[in-house]
Structures are given as C-alpha cells and as structure tokens.
C-alpha cells in the first residue's frame, strides 16, 4: 500500500511529491487525468511573486497580499506564504528553473496591486512552462510512480478518515494519505484562460466526501485575455500592463483612471469591472490594450509567447492595439485547509488552486498563485512526513449545503453550465440571477453522471458551480471579485469567510492523521 497518493500534476502536486520524497517518503503514487505536464501551471505567464529584491521584504509582500484580499485573508497563512517565498524560489533554482536576470541579479517586474517590483519570470512570459518541465523532469528522475490518463472518481473514506481513491476504471488505490492538487475550475465559464482539464475535480471529490470548503464564491476574472473566439482565451499577462501598456476604448481614450486612480495597476477585480462597464457603456465586444509605446523590439523580447500568439491572430503589438476582454482565470476558494494543507477529513490534504488556505481572501494578488502551490505543496510534504511543529487541526464551523435529489434532474451539457455561470455567476451578479443559477445548477448536480471521463467532469462542474452560486447568493455584499449589483458595497456584517459542507460525513471528535506522524487532530 502506498504511503502517499497525490492527485494532480501542476506545481502544487509535483512539488508536494518531490518534497515528500526528499523527506524520506518513498511510496508515492502521482495520479493525473491527462499527461504529466498537461495542467494549468504550464500556461502561467505572469511569474511568481517573492520578496528577493533589495528594497523589498516579506512584510511588504504580506501587506500587498492582505490589501488585495479586501480584509478576508487569513493573516497567519499570508505570513507563511510570504516568509517562505524566497526559500521556495531557491528550491526551484536548485531544481533547474532559470529565472530571468538583469545586471547580474534576478529581474523583478511589477504587476498590479504590488507596491514594488517583485515578480520573477522565466523565459519572459513562459514561467509556468519552465517550472512545469523542471518539476516533471525531477519527478521522473526520482522514480516516483506516475499514473497518467487516470481519472479519480471518488475518495475512499472509512472510519472517518481518507484511506485512498477510487478510479473511474473501477480500481481502488489505498494509502495512508491523499493529497488533492487537482487545480481549478475555469471550465465553469464560457470564457476562460484555463485549459480543458480545469473542471473542478478536486473540490468536487472533497465535497462528496464531506470535507469543508471555503471562499467558494470568489472566482477571479483576468481583465485581459485576447478577445478571440468564445472558449479558452489566450492570457495577456498582467506584466504587460505593469510594463506600461494602457487600456483604451473604441475612441482611443485611456479609460481606467475613471474607475480607479491606480488605473491599469488597480487590483484585477477593479480592472475587470472597469473593462466590463466600458464595454456595456459603449456597446463593445472588447476593449484594446495599447503597447505601441514600447521601444522597438521590447514587446517581443519581454513577452515572446504573447507576441507570437498575437501575430498568429494577425495583430502586431508594436503597431496595433491588442483586443482584450475579461475571462475566468482563478478559483480563489476551494477545499478548506490549515497552514499545513490538512483538510477537515483526517488523512486528506489539499494544496494549490484546489485548496482554500486563506491567502487570497476576496481577490488574489497577481503572481501569488504559483507561489501558493509551491509553499503549501512543501508544507503538505512536511506534515505528511511527520515533521515536528505540526499541531492540531482546528476546524471552522461550516454551514450545511443541502443538495436534494430531484427526479426531474437531467444531465447537463457542459455548454449549458458554462453559459449559465457566465451569465449569472460572473463578473457582475445580482440576487435574481444567483437564485436562478443555484436552482438550475442544483438540478444538474443531482443528476446521475455518465460513465465516461467527460461526463464525470461535467458532473463535477455542475456540483462546484452550484456550490459557488449558493455561496454567492448568501453573501449579500460586494467584496473583491464578488460584486453584486443589488448590494454594491462591502458590509461589515460580511467581513467574514464562509465555510460549507455537504452533511454526508460526520468526523470523529479526535483521530490520528497522517502517515504515522502521531499528530492529534481535533474537530
């Protein structure tokens, strides 16, 4: 029986597996539904935030993270994230990631809502690909068992603890510990920067097993995706605006200063809403990003991947404006964990975009996503290996999510889910739309899924989408990425996180958790 199963092969899952191996855990199975390198990490352009500059500090990074999260970040988790950023970046360098350098030092770029330049890139705008390749290569070199093209259908929970996973093929894999690192759920939306594999599988697995989820109403929309055909939109990195590109409307007007004095460098939720309002105001399908003021050759040098994509679409960024519009980008909520990645179910851990560690609050600070996977992937490994200093888990008190069984429920087409989410649980929300969405998605989520991978993915999307709509309907305010037209301002009564559980599982009062760590866990 393997000691550790890791579900997912992005930065969080790969680094958790590598870190666990380095801490002496040898019986590891890494399960991924696609190829080992085929996840969202490889498409990350914006880089990884870390206080490595001489004028920076982890305290400044923490302050920027807290500010972007609009008073909902977990202060302890943010401290962990920012203090451990530089050592984890050093780990990546040791594993072969070559970050860009200028004048003999790491090249630090500035992005929206960062007070200083602290974002590291590799290969210009190909940071995620460089990290993914280095980590995947290390996993193979270590001899970690990899099961690719393998879909996890359910978690095995026995005696109040997670004991393994059940595969769609019918096999069961038992383990002392399971780590969910299955990425996000961008495919919930009609327009997204996420690849097709981002179907919320990790959160859906945890929900069905009775784990607590948190912050599920907060989904970040990236302001600037290349406005091509509906579907998976190509990301135009935050760093382009950080380097001086300007958003313009159809009349050539730089409009963002009308919505926020920070203009293009405002937090992502502010910029995304500003763009949507400008589109509605003028009846536009998109706005435009102007990088024509860059010195000759600068755009292609700094952003080679974006430059190549734009040119394939017939747009020369040196001479023409880039058509952009917002797209679903990052799930800030997910499976609740403590700062060691432990969930409310003993033996079950989560990290990366699947997890809700509390570091993002209501609005993720740009380039903290790769960092979160790195830092908490390492911490999960430390906890699993039984390192000292890992104390008790203190669960929040969750509210119940009631998903009734409706005989009228019919399986939903994925396009229907994506259209409903985009219309009613998107950038701008209201009570009527959320009520409609939660009813429709509840029926779809209650429908029995088919036996194929795509059908199970669609069922996962319906379940996660319903939970998001329910949480958004309950939160009667606007805060960060959650903006309600009927409650347009933050409310003091809602300066709190929401925790939910499907009441199908009752944890014992006290159990032992982990691979022989002897750490006590309290409910």
Rg, Å, the chain Cα set: 22
User: Residue 411 has what DSSP assignment?
Assistant: P
Q: Which residue's entry shows tokens 């970046």?
A: 89
Question: Of 3, 118, 241, 268, which residue is the catalytic one?
Answer: 268
Q: Which two tokens stand for residue 423?
A: 């219309």
Q: Residues 356, 213: contact at Cβ < 8 Å?
A: yes
Calculated CA dihedral for residues 433, 478, 472, 506, nearest 10 degrees? -160
Sheet order of strands, 355-356 included: 355-356, 334-336, 213-214, 499-501, 399-400
Cα–Cα dist 248/226, whole Å: 14
Q: Residues 236, 523: contact at Cβ < 8 Å?
A: no
Query: How open is the CA angle 348-40-155, to the nearest 5 degrees?
Result: 25
Cα–Cα dist 427/287, whole Å: 16
Instruction: Please report, for residues 116, 126, 244, 450, the alpha-carbon distance to residue 53 in angstroms, rounded to integers and kept in the order given.
Output: 9, 21, 20, 52
C-alpha closest to that of 467 among 172, 200, 259, 228: 200
Pairing of strands 172-174, 161-167: antiparallel
Does the active-site annotation cover 456? no
| H/E run at residue 384 | helix 369-384
C-alpha closest to that of 10 among 231, 180, 152, 140: 180
Q: 69-91 burial, b for 16+ CB within 10 Å, e for fewer?
A: bbebbbeebbbbbbbbbeebbeb
Give the Cβ contact number of residue 141 at 10 Å. 10
Beta bridge partners of 510: 522
Cα–Cα dist 478/489, whole Å: 5
Beta strand segments in 395-497, E:
399-400
Rounded to 5 degrees, what are φ and ψ at 169?
A: -70, -10
What positions carry a catalytic annotation? 268
């Amino acid at each position: 029986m393997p000691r550790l199963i890791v579900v997912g092969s992005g930065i969080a899952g790969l680094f958790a597996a590598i870190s666990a191996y380095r801490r002496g855990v040898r019986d590891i199975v890494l399960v991924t539904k696609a190829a080992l390198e085929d996840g969202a990490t490889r498409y990350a352009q914006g880089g990884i935030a870390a206080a490595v500059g001489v004028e920076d500090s982890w305290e400044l990074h923490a302050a920027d993270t807290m500010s972007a999260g609009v008073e909902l970040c977990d202060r302890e988790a943010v401290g962990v994230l920012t203090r451990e950023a530089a050592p984890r970046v050093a780990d990546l360098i040791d594993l072969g990631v070559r970050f860009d350098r200028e004048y003999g030092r790491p090249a630090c770029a500035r992005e929206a809502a960062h007070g200083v330049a602290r974002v590291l890139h590799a290969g210009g705008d190909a940071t995620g690909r460089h990290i993914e390749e280095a980590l995947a290569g290390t996993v193979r070199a270590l001899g970690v068992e990899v099961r690719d093209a393998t879909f996890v259908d359910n978690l095995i929970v026995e005696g109040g603890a997670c004991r393994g996973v059940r595969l769609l093929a019918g096999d069961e894999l038992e383990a002392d510990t399971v780590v969910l690192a299955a990425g996000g759920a961008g495919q919930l939306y009609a327009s997204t920067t996420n690849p097709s594999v981002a179907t919320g599988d990790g959160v859906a697995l945890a929900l069905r097993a009775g784990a607590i989820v948190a912050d599920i109403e907060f989904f970040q929309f990236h302001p600037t995706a290349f406005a091509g055909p509906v579907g998976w939109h190509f990301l135009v990195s935050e760093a382009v605006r950080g380097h001086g590109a300007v958003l313009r409307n159809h009349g050539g007007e730089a409009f963002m200063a009308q919505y926020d004095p920070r203009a293009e460098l405002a937090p992502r939720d502010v910029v995304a809403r500003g763009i949507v309002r400008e589109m509605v105001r003028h009846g536009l399908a998109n706005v435009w990003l102007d990088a024509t003021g860059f010195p000759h050759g600068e755009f292609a040098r700094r952003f080679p991947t974006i430059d190549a994509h734009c040119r394939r679409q017939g747009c020369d960024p040196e001479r023409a404006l880039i058509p952009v519009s917002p797209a679903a980008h990052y799930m800030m909520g997910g499976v609740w964990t403590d700062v060691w990645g432990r969930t409310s179910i003993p033996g079950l851990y989560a990290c990366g975009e699947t997890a809700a560690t509390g570091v993002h609050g209501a609005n993720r600070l740009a380039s903290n996503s790769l960092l979160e996977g790195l830092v908490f992937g390492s911490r999960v490994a430390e906890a699993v290996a039984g390192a000292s200093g890992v104390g008790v888990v203190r669960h929040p008190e969750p509210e119940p999510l009631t998903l009734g069984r409706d005989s009228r429920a019919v399986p939903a087409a994925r396009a229907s889910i994506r259209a409903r989410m985009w219309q009613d649980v998107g950038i701008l929300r209201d009570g009527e739309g959320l009520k409609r969405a939660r009813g429709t998605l509840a029926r779809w989520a209650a429908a029995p899924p088919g036996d194929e991978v795509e059908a199970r993915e669609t069922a996962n999307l319906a379940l996660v989408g319903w939970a998001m709509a329910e949480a958004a309907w309950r939160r009667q305010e606007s805060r960060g990425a959650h903006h309600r037209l009927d409650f347009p301002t933050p409310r003091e009564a809602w300066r709190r996180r929401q925790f939910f559980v499907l009441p199908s599982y009752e944890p014992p009062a006290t159990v032992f958790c982990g691979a022989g760590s002897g750490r006590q866990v309290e409910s």
